[in-house]
Chain A
Amino acid sequence: MKCIQLVPLGDVPPNLVEVLSVTLAKVFSARCQILPPQPTPAYAFNVDRGQYSSMQILARMAASPNLTAWKVLAVTYFDLYIPVLTFVFGEAQLDGACAVVSAHRLRQEVYGFPADQPLLQERLLKEAVHELGHTLGLMHCDDRSCVMSSSHSVEWIDLKTARFCATCQANSQPRLAATTR
C-alpha cells in the first residue's frame, strides 16, 4: 500500500499532525506514517525576513538518503517564504515526492481572530492535499471548488473543498494508482 510520511518540522502540536494523518489517508487511500519530529531547520532561516525558505527545506528533503516513501510531507508551524514572495503556505516538487506545508498563516490568531482549531485543521488538510497534488503533477485549477485551485489567502482556501475536481482526479489517476514512485 502507498505510504505518505508526515514529518513534523520544529514545534508542531502533535494532535494537528495526528488528525491530518487520518484525513490524508482517506483522501489518498494511502497509509499515513508520522515520523519523529525533526529540529527547526536553522539552515533555512532568513534573519532579515524572520522566515524559513521552503526551497531550502525541500532541497534538503529531496537529498535525504532515507527517502523511500511514496510521498513525504513536512509540516511546520513557522512561516515559509520563497525569495520573491512575501510568504507561501507551502511548496512541493512538481511531479516529485516531497512537499512542505506551513500551518502558521492558516491560524485565525495571525489575523487577529480567536483561535479556531477545527478551521485550522480543515485549512491544513486542504493545503496538504494541494501540495501533494503538485507532487502528482497537477497544476492550479480554474475550478474554485477544486482543492488545486490557486489560493493566496485564507479566504480562498476557505472557499474551496479538500477534494480534487473530476478533471484533476482524472489527470492524477495514473500517479494515484501507483503504489511506488
Chain B
Amino acid sequence: MEKKPNLLIVDDELIVRDSLSKWFREENYDVSTADSAAAALALLAERPFDIALVDIKMPGTDGIELQRRLKEINPDLVVIIMTGYASVETAVSALKNGAYDYVTKPFDPDDIAHTLKNALAHKSTEHENVRLRETIAATTKPQDLVGQSSAMRRVCEAIETVGPTDATVLITGESGTGKELVARAIHSASPRRYNPFVVLHCGALAESLLESELFGHEKGAFTGAQYRKKGSFETAEGGSVFLDEIGDISLKTQTDLLRVLQEREITRVGATQPLHVDFRCIAATNKNLEGLIEEGKFRCDLFYRLNVFQIHLPALRERKEDIPLLADHFVHKFAVAMNKPVVRVAPGAMELLMRCAWPGNVRELENAIERAMVVAHNSELEPGDFSLRLPTSYGSARTLEEAERVHILEVLDECHGNQTLAAEVLDIDRVTLHNKLKRYGWKKVTADAP
C-alpha cells in the first residue's frame, strides 16, 4: 500500500484547522495540525513532513518567518502559504522565501487538491533527479578504470586534468584497451556530466549513414527518410559526443566534421539552415593517425583539432602487473551478474593469465574470465576453467632458432595473423617479422583458402 503523504496544517483558527484536516484526511493525507509557529516547529522536530500548509497571519511569528525556520530544519519540506487576502507583495515575499506556492482562502476544492498533488509530484521528481544524479556519478566514476600500474595511474591523472575542462580529447590505444570507458570517465568528470553522452562507432557505418547519424536529416532528404531525425551532435546538446574509430571515416566526412568542430554548427542532411550545437568532442582510434596523414588518408587539420589533449591507453601486455587486479574485478562483476559464488582466480590459473599475450587486451581478458565463470564449479577459477592459447614451452625445440620460430608463430596465431600487432607484441620491427616469416615459409591463411 502506498504511503500517505504527511501534511502539516498551521493556522491559529480552530475552524480552519478542523475543516482542512477533515477534508484532507478524506483525500488520503496523514494530517497533523498546529495552532502556532512554536507548535509547528515542535511537531517538525518530532517527525518528518512532506508538505506544510501555513497561514500567513498568525499571532507572534507569522507564516513567512515560520516558513524560513521550517526550511532551515527540513530543506526538503514543501511549504504552501495560505493567505486570506491575495496581494502581489504577499505572494512575492512568500515565493522569495522558498514557498512552493501560495493559495488564497477560501480555496476552490479542485485547485487546492491539484496544488498539493502537483507539489508532491514536484518533490518526488526532485528526489528522483537527485537519485539519478547520484547513480550516474556512482556508475561512471574513473574507479571503473582498474589498474595500479604507473601507465594506468598516468591515464587517471590525465582524466582528472582534462575532465573538468572543455578541451577536445583524442584517446589512442589498441582495440580492447578501454577507450570508451576513458571517454565516459572524462565526460563524468566534466561539468557536462548531467547532459547526454552520445557514442558513435564511426567504423561501423557506411559514409551516407554516418553523415545522417552525425548531422541528422530532414524528412524526405533521401529515400527512406520518412521523419526528421536529430544527429549525434544535436542529441548530445550540452553533453559530450564520443566518436569511436575516428580513423575509419572518409575524407568527405572528415571535411564536414572539421567544419562542425570549428564552427560549432551543423546542417542536417537535406537542410539549408545551419544549427548551433553545444557539445564536447572526445574521439578515439586504434590507428596511427599520423601514419594515415602521411598516406593522405586523414586530414592533418582535423587531426590537430582532435588532438588538443591526447591520452594513450597502454596495451595489457605493457601493464601485466594489473592483470590480477583486473581479473579480481571481472570475477566480482560476473559473480554478481551470474549469481555464482566464485570469489577469485586460483593461483595456478592466475599464473596462466600472466603468461598470456592478450592481443585483444582487457576485453579479451574479460571475455576469458566470463567464459571461465560460466563453466566454473568451485569457488575459485581453476586453470581448467580457461580456454587459453598460451605460449608453448617450445616442446621439442632444441636450438634457439627453433624456439624463436615456435614463439613467433604462436604469437602470430594469437594475433589472428595480424603481422603489425604481432610485431608490436614481439617488440620487433614489422619488416624483421616479415623477413622471418618469409624464411619460415609462412603464408597467411584466409577464409577463402581451399
Contact = CB atoms under 8 A, between A and B. Distances in A.
Interface of A: 49, 55, 81-88, 94, 134, 139-140, 150, 152-153
B113 A84 contact: no
Contacts of A83: 13, 15-16, 19, 106
B289 interface: no
Contact residues on B (Cβ < 8 Å of other chain), bracket: 20 to 34
Nearest to A141: B28
B85 to A, nearest CB: 14
A140 B27 contact: yes
B109 A87 contact: yes
Contacts of A49: 106
B25 A85 contact: no
Residue from the set A55, A82, A94 with the largest chain B CB neighbour count within 10 Å: A82
B259 interface: no
B108 A85 contact: yes
The 7 closest A-B pairs by CB, nearest first: A152-B109, A152-B110, A82-B19, A86-B106, A86-B108, A83-B15, A83-B19
23 contacts: A49-B106, A82-B19, A82-B23, A83-B13, A83-B16, A83-B19, A83-B106, A84-B106, A85-B23, A85-B106, A85-B108, A85-B109, A86-B107, A87-B109, A88-B109, A94-B22, A94-B25, A139-B28, A140-B26, A140-B27, A150-B27, A150-B113, A152-B108
Contacts of B15: 55, 83
Contacts of B82: 84
A115 B335 CA distance: 71
Contacts of B26: 94, 134, 139-140, 150
Contacts of A86: 106-109
Interface of B: 13, 15-16, 18-20, 22-23, 25-28, 82, 105-110, 112-113
| Majority secondary structure of chain A interface residues (helix, strand, loop or mixed) | loop
A49 B105 CA distance: 12
B106 A140 contact: no
Contacts of B23: 82, 84-85
Residue from the set A84, A85, A94 with the largest chain B CB neighbour count within 10 Å: A84
Contacts of B110: 152-153
A158 B112 CA distance: 20
| Majority secondary structure of chain B interface residues (helix, strand, loop or mixed) | helix
Contacts of B18: 55
Given A83-B16, A85-B106, 12 more contacts: A49-B106, A55-B15, A55-B18, A82-B23, A83-B13, A83-B15, A83-B19, A83-B106, A84-B23, A85-B112, A87-B109, A139-B26
A88 B18 CA distance: 15
B22 A84 contact: no
A138 to B, nearest CB: 9
B123 to A, nearest CB: 19
Nearest to B113: A152
A55 B25 CA distance: 16
B113 A85 contact: no
A153 B19 CA distance: 19
Given A84-B106, A86-B107, A140 B22 contact: no
Nearest to A93: B22
A152 B107 CA distance: 11
A85 B107 contact: yes
A150 B28 CA distance: 10
Contacts of B105: 84
A40 to B, nearest CB: 22
A134 B28 CA distance: 12
Given A94-B25, A134-B26, A84 B108 contact: no
